[in-house]
Structure 1
Amino acid sequence: MKSSENREFARQARREGVMGPVLQILHIWQRRAPLLTAGALLSLLAVLIGLVLMREAGMRVAAMTLGVIVVTTGALRIFGGARVILRYTERLVTHDAMFRALADVRVWFFRNLARGAAAGLGFRRAGDLLSRLVSDVETLDGLYLRIIIPLLGACLVLPFLFIAINMVDTVLAVVVAGLFACGAFVLPLIAAMMGRREGGLVNHASAQLRIGVLDMVGGLREIATFGAEGRMLAHVRDRDDALYRAQMKQARMLAMAGAASYLCGQAAVVAVLAAALGLGLPRIAPLPAAAVLFLTVAAFETVGGLTRAGALAGSITRAAARVVAVGEMPEHAPPEGTEPAPAGTDIRFEHVSFRWSADRAPVLDDLNLDIPAGQRIAVLGPSGAGKSTLAALLLKAVAPQAGRITLGGRDIATIRDDDLRGRIAWLSQATHLFADTIRANLLLGRPDATEADLWTALEQARVADVVRDLPDGLDSWLGEGGTSLSGGQGRRLALARVLLSRAPILILDEPATGLDARTEQEFLQTLNDVTQGRTVILIAHRLTGVEKLDKVWRISDGKMVSARS
């Protein structure tokens, strides 16, 4: 791992708390609390039955050796059967609860990702997002199954162990309980403190490797063009080596933690044997000695994985921090409105100012603009002038630092997001077509649309004939990003999806990007025909001459200047 990446990771680690993200994950899981609690209770009951079973089994074995009967075979069968049933039920419930809880985390993650994307957070690298959504979320199952459940079990076993052995000998009870507390609580805590950095490094290195691999796969054409295969492969190998080193450090930590826990258990067994022989500890009778020995072995088996889990706690807490980070919103995130959208669709920008960060110049500075309902305007300007920012503000993706924007005379900050976006349809310069059927791509704009509605939208976008010629029509499968269609056909399909929404306001942000001159003109002429009666805001670098517009504006120095009437 490069030193710059190490420094960035260290800075990130310092910013992250330990318990805050974990508590937020538990908050997301709260609707599964009854099922999670039931699983924990079943686990505790299974542990308790297992301890009783082992204690009684030890007494039975010793009694048979001495020629007496203390515990009947029937009692052991009852305890054994109960333990098997409880253990099976507990595994069923706890894993079902965990699967549901992780599904809740994924839904929460996606919702916040979508909200963050609208507020300017949607430009994270794909490999990092994939790592958070897959690896980090899956790592969180250890929080419940490897840490919470075993810790609850340890809290139950410790007093049971002490009380049961204290009935035989107090000194031995103190020694065994002390070793158990060390193996169940002290060593896992030390392992967690020592393993936090290593666990975080594994998560970070894994994410960096995914980023590198996806960058390489996505850019294969460019890599081949510039003959950079060797350099890119070496770059990925460096990240793979970094992940290997981090995993080896963690593996060594896990091995040390497991060995320390094992030694505690073996020391407890030695103490019981020493007491049975009267070596250094008060001598105890053979029958209770066998019961204590079986009980001790069973008790340490219940917490054998806690020290290893402690060493993995760093990965779990770091994974929690990376997952919940998607819910962090930037300072320019808009407020959530509570009012319905008004009937009118007049748009007004009143003294609007906006900058993306405090250390950058304002993109818009005291901008004023009136767009009456049904008017067709164009907003021109070079890259970075603020054209797309204008669309982001109107879509309530971000909020202005000064001034306000009204729709039908009402400040959009007070309007519910869903209601506002139901009035505004957006066709961006990078509209995405999903690797799904044409039907599914169209229904994204209006899930309740009928078959006739779909064909009407396709006819309006002048792409219906293309769809009819496909073997499966509306159910034809599009490749990733719509690669089975040409650029112009993909644009028209995206336009059909926008038209399907029936929104009275259309924002067309560089809608002909990537098209050749002839296809661009044909596409814009289609827009002229199918957007009649709607408010149209066309954002572009330049005009081709075929657009039908009521007004043309140009953004200059953050202000709106009329280009022509």
Structure 2
Amino acid sequence: MWRDLRRVLGLWRAHRTLLLLGGLVACLAALAGVALLALAGNGVALGLHHGIAAAAVGSLFLLRPLILLRPVLRWSERMTTHAATFRALADTRVWFFRRLADRLPAGLGLRRAGDLLGRLVSDVEALDGLYLRALVPIAAAAVSVVAIAAILGWTSPALMAVVCLPLALALLLPPILAPVAARNAARVAEARGTLRAEAVEPLLGLEDVLSVNGEAAAAARLAEAGRQQARAERRASRASALGGAAGTVLTQLALLGALAWGVLAWGTGHAGDTAAQALLAVPALFLALAAAENLAAVPRAGLALAGAGAAARRLLDAADAPVPVAVPASPAPAPKGHAIRFEDVRFRWSPERPEVLDGLTLEIPEGARVALLGPSGSGKSTVAALLLRLADPQNGRITVGGTDLAAMAPEAVRTRISCLTQDARLFDDTVAANLRLADPAASDAALWQALERARVADLVRALPDGLDTRCGEGGARFSGGQARRLALARALLSPAPVLILDEPAAGLDVSAERAFLETLGEATAGRTVLLIAHRLLGVERPTRVLRMVGGRALPATA
């Protein structure tokens, strides 16, 4: 747990100045509270010993600026610590997203979408406990206890020991509670991830669930996940309650210790110093009250540490998955040409799965239009994945413009090669934002040009907000053919000279498929095109037709 938390703090290095400032202000606010109650206690003691007038002239005169300063420090603490936390968590989300993008370039694979969403949202949010509810409260409490020990030790070391010993024990509660709390927090985090997955996944495929009357089974799984989460949270709550009770008992012991000191001093002291010794208990009582306020959050700090540790472990577990594509330390520059060549390429997706490509040799000259045919599972889409560097071959090599893809950075490869997949997705954003995924700097004129080439510009002009019209989740605003043409416009917006069309008309009816493929033929003129399909309709006009057989590309026969 501690190693994971140290690594998270390392991710926040860019904000260390603001984080340290927030901790410093919190400590100053705690010291202001200690000073306020120390002066108040001293004033009461002076009033009891010398009279009310002496108290007013002495300690109470100093209370006025502290009464004003303390709320200002508290406000500054909240503003600074929360600003630092929000910035650090925002950076953590971006870091985690980029790590997932590097490790899941071909999609989620066997990972559950809801669970990853939980890690990206809930687990990152749980990390605020590391700073806001753990480090800052512990630092403020520790500073206040040290200040109280210094004040009481200057007047009476014995009284300091009586009051500060239980306070010091209260400071030890976080590391004492953390191991048990960490196990509970891990169970809670896992249960929350499962619950989110069971809620999200049926919604993503709701049409399929309803078509087989599977909503009852999905609801049952969701209910069971909810019960598991409730059990895990009850177990964690019991530990939290015990920790809070322990902290309260220890701070009350400090108060009782100060009170007992005063009573015993009054009953056993000599006439000359009885009153003086007894009156020392008054500021000690006030200081114990100040410590109780600052220590109230310490037991919960241990639980917050545990929760942050469990969240950090889940994040790092996903973020540290092996990278499927090695990035060279010194990437080769992008080649000038874009002719493609596969040289004796062998590939399988995992050691336990069969080989997909078995010595594939393939050439695609610049400007060629090659159709690659074959049934599902023959390796057609694997060819596209390797060209995009979503995976690397185990043997052989692939070159673009004479440069080995393995020597190029993946993002550089994708500036040369673009792809329109069979399940190209429109996101719940504007038409313009969806198109600019391919070229963030594209002007509106360039967007309209791409839409014209995809033969969907008239549709967008007729929309209520034109380019600013939202597409809906998964492009729900549009029909399948319309959404596919918008995805084509996005692919055409990319400046990449090589375009892969992986089953681009899948799911369309015959007439819509034919019309879309005719559009493709015209829109992709001047680019090198690799068309991946089960069959040809006769409107594609490729310069070469190949068929995948046994992991190899062979010339197609009639």
Tell me the TM-score range normalised by the shorter chain: over 0.9
Aligned to 2:273: none
Pick aligned residue for 1:172 from 135, 159, 165 = 159
Aligned-partner Cα distance in 2 for 1:355–1:154: 57
Q: Give the superposition deviation at 1:280.
A: 12
Q: Which residue of 2 aligns with 1:259?
A: 245
Matched, 1:455 2:442: no
Deviations along 1:492-530, one digit per CA (max 9) or x if unpaired, are: 110011111132100111111111112111111111112
SS at match of 1:379: strand
Residues 400-415 of structure 1 aligned to structure 2 (within 5 Å): 400-415=393-408
* Residue identity in the other structure for 1:22: L
What's the counterpart of residue 156 of structure 1? 143
Query: What count of residue pairs does the alignment treat as equivalent?
Result: 547
| Cα distance, 1:148 vs structure 2 | 1.0
Residue aligning to 2:234: 248
Letter in 1 for 2:43: R
Q: Which residue of structure 1 lines up, in the alignment, with residue 338 of structure 2?
A: 345
Q: Report the Cα offset of residue 273 of structure 1.
A: 0.9
Q: Residue 3 of structure 2: which of 12, 17, 20 is its match? A: 20
1:192, 1:313 within 8 Å by CA — same for their partners in 2? yes
Distance (Å, rounded) in 1 between the aligned partners of 2:3 and 2:377: 38
Q: Which segment drifts farther, 318-327 or 290-299?
A: 318-327
- Cα offset, 1:380, TM superposition: 2.3
- Contact kept in structure 2, 1:332 and 1:401, CA below 8 Å: no
- Establish whether residue 47 from structure 1 lines up as the match of residue 40 from structure 2: no
> Paired residue for 2:469?
476
C-alpha separation in 2, matches of 1:367 and 1:223: 40
Contact 1:353 / 1:367 at 8 angstroms: preserved in 2? Answer: yes
Give the secondary structure class of the aligned counterpart of 1:167.
Answer: helix
Within-5 A mapping of 1:198-209: 198-209=184-195
| 2:4 aligned partner, one-letter code | P
**Counterparts of 1:109 and 1:423, CA distance in 2:** 27
Q: 1:98 to 1:122 in 2, by over 3 A?
A: farther
Whole-angstrom distance in 1 between the partners of 2:539 and 2:400: 29
In the TM superposition, structure 1's runs of 4+ consecutive aligned residues that sit over 4 Å from their partners are 119-123, 279-284
Q: Within the alignment, does 1:466 sit opposite 2:459 as a pair? A: yes
What amino acid sits opposite 1:272 in the alignment?
A: A
- Going from structure 1 to structure 2, the CA distance change for 1:451 and 1:188 (only over 3 Å counts) comes to closer
Structure 1: distance between partners of 2:466 and 2:373: 38
Which residue type is aligned with residue 80 of structure 2?
V
Pairing of 1:373-388 with structure 2 (within 5 A)? 373-388=366-381
Select the residue among 179, 187, 199 that pairs with 1:213: 199
Distance 1:512 1:101, change over 3 A: same
- 2:117 matched to which residue of 1? 130
Change (3 A) 1:279 1:368: farther
Specify the alignment match of 1:322 in structure 2. 314
Deviation digits for residues 115-163 of structure 1 (CA, Å, limit 9, x no counterpart): 2331555663221122112211111111001111122223323432322
Q: Does 1:521 align with 2:514?
A: yes
**Matching residue of 2:433:** 440
Asked whether the equivalents of residues 378 and 538 of structure 1 are also in contact (C-alpha less than 8 Å), the reply is yes
Distance 1:371 1:335 in 2: 25
- Ranges in structure 2 where 5+ consecutive residues have no aligned partner: 270-275
Counterpart code for 2:421: S
Deviation at 1:168, TM superposition (A): 3.1
Between the aligned partners of 1:473 and 1:87, the Cα distance in structure 2 is 49
Matched with 2:255 is 269
Which residue pairs with 2:272 in the alignment? none
Within 5 Å, give how 1:61-100 maps onto structure 2.
61-68=44-51, 69=54, 71-100=58-87
Per the alignment, residue 37 of structure 1 pairs with 20
Q: Distance in 1 between matches of 2:378 and 2:467?
A: 40
How big is the shift at 1:564? Answer: 4.7
Q: What is the root-mean-square deviation in Å for CA atoms of aligned residues?
A: 2.2
- Quote the offset at 1:99 in angstroms: 1.0
Distance 2:158 2:42 in 1: 21
Q: Within 1, Cα distance between the matches of 2:101 and 2:550? A: 31
Contact 2:265–2:277 under 8 Å retained in 1: no
User: What residue number does 1:183 align with?
Assistant: 170
Partner residue of 2:91? 104
Which digits, 9 at most, give the CA deviation of each residue in 1:31-60, with x for residues without a partner?
001111111111112212221221111111
- Measured in 1, the distance between the counterparts of 2:267 and 2:169 equals 20
Instruction: State the AA in 2 paired with 1:96.
Output: A
> CA 1:281–1:243 in structure 2 vs 1: closer, same or farther (change >3 Å)?
farther
Mapping 1:497-512, distance limit 5 Å: 497-512=490-505
Q: Aligned AA for 1:56?
A: L
Cα contact 1:24–1:324 (8 A) shared by 2:
no
Equivalent runs, 1:389-408 vs 2, <5 Å: 389-408=382-401
Aligned-partner residue type, residue 425 of structure 2? H
2:291 counterpart of 1:299: yes
Structure 1 residues 303 and 333, CA, compared in 2 at 3 Å: closer, same or farther?
A: farther
Q: Distance in 2 between matches of 1:422 and 1:449?
A: 15
8 Å Cα contact 1:57/1:294 also seen in 2: yes
Classify the secondary structure of the residue corresponding to 1:278: helix
Contact 1:524 1:546 in 2 (8 A): yes
Is 1:427–1:498's contact at 8 Å kept on the other side of the alignment? Answer: yes
- 1:482/1:261 Cα in 2 relative to 1: closer, same or farther (>3 Å)? same
Q: Aligned AA for 2:556?
A: A
- Between stretches 379-388 and 328-337, larger displacement belongs to 328-337
C-alpha distance in 1 between matches for 2:421 and 2:537: 18
2:223 to 207, 218, 237: 237
Query: Please, which moves more after superposition, 191-200 or 111-120?
Result: 111-120
Identity, % of aligned pairs? 45
In the alignment, the residues of structure 1 paired with residue 266 and residue 307 of structure 2 have an alpha-carbon distance, to the nearest angstrom, of: 42
Q: 1:73 to 1:175 in 2, by over 3 A?
A: closer
Q: Secondary structure at the match of 1:118?
A: coil
Does 69-78 or 426-435 show the bigger shift? 69-78
Shift of 1:281: 11
Give the secondary-structure state (helix, strand or coil) at the position aligned to 2:538.
coil
* Structure 1 residue 240, shift from structure 2 partner: 1.1
Q: Does structure 2 retain, via aligned residues, the 8 Å contact 1:209–1:239?
A: yes
1:554 and 1:562 in contact (8 A); partners too: yes
Kept in 1, the 8 Å contact 2:345–2:361? The answer is yes
Unpaired runs of at least 5, structure 1: 1-17
TM-score, normalised by the number of residues in structure 1: 0.92
Of residues 174-183 and 86-95 in structure 1, the stretch that sits farther from structure 2 once superposed is 174-183
Q: TM-score, normalised by structure 2?
A: 0.93
